[in-house]
């Protein structure tokens, strides 16, 4: 197997398993009537996907993958706006909740653009890996905050981790930057912790 074919497999694997992850987040969200992805992760994801689908499109295959991610993330964003306030209405007013979301979205968008120019990274790999790491930590935080599996599932956790593995291997074979390698390993550690925590909840509810 040539390196080019191997990288294509990694690209397809990452794209496919993240698509499945997003679909499972949407499915679980509608089922539980809860948002399944934390606000900062949604804002960073949809900003990245908009930028690299419409402003700085990549090769034909990745452009299609990015566009599919973006469309799925629109549904995830809508779920957050629909269900999110119910969890915080006793803490903050409605206006602050929605304005906080808008501010986070704008900051995420311009931060990703700034990182592109700061790192001279026109494919957005540094932003993508950093926000994946952030997402892993936020998923754990959301699980602990709620104290139950609402909006989350083992399928989401496992598919996210597999998608991350494909991306990490593909970028390691292509670039091998120390920063991306460290971020990838840290993300996989957090993803594993997330899987273990979800398993513990399954065991708890099964008793």
State how far the Cα of 19 lies from the Cα of 26, in Å rounded to an integer: 11
pLDDT for position 3: 82
State how far the Cα of 190 lies from the Cα of 3, in Å rounded to an integer: 29
pLDDT for position 160: 97
Q: pTM to 2 decimals?
A: 0.95
The pair of structure tokens assigned to 78 is 């809508």
pLDDT for position 207: 58
The pair of structure tokens assigned to 123 is 């494919």
Using 70 as the pLDDT threshold, list the residues of the chain that sit under it.
Answer: 1, 206-207
Instruction: With beta carbons less than 8 A apart as the criterion, state whether 43 and 105 touch.
Output: yes
The b/e string for 44-71 (b: 16+ C-beta within 10 A; e otherwise) is: bbbbbbbbbbeeeeeeeebeebbbbbbe
Half-sphere exposure in the Cβ direction for 85 (13 Å, CA)? 13
pLDDT for position 1: 64
Rg (CA), the chain: 17
pLDDT for position 154: 96
pLDDT for position 2: 86
* 77 exposure class (CB count in 10 Å sphere: 0-12, 13-18, 19+): buried
pLDDT for position 4: 86
């Amino acid at each position: 197997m040539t390196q080019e074919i191997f990288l294509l497999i990694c690209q397809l694997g990452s794209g496919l398993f993240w698509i499945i992850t997003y679909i499972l987040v949407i499915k679980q969200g509608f089922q539980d009537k809860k948002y399944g992805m934390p606000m900062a992760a949604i804002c960073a994801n949809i900003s990245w996907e908009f930028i690299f689908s419409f402003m700085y499109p990549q090769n034909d295959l990745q452009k299609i993958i990015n566009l599919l991610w973006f469309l799925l993330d629109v549904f995830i964003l809508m779920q957050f706006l629909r269900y999110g306030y119910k969890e915080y209405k006793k803490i903050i007013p409605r206006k602050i909740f929605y304005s906080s979301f808008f501010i986070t979205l704008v900051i995420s968008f311009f931060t990703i653009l700034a990182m592109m120019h700061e790192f001279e990274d026109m494919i957005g790999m540094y932003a993508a890996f950093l926000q994946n790491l952030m997402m892993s930590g936020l998923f754990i935080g959301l699980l602990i905050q709620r104290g139950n599996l609402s909006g989350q599932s083992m399928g989401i956790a496992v598919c996210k981790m597999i998608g991350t593995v494909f991306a990490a291997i593909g970028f390691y074979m292509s670039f091998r930057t120390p920063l991306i390698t460290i971020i990838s390993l840290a993300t996989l550690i957090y993803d594993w912790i997330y899987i273990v925590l979800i398993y513990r909840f399954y065991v708890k509810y099964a008793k």
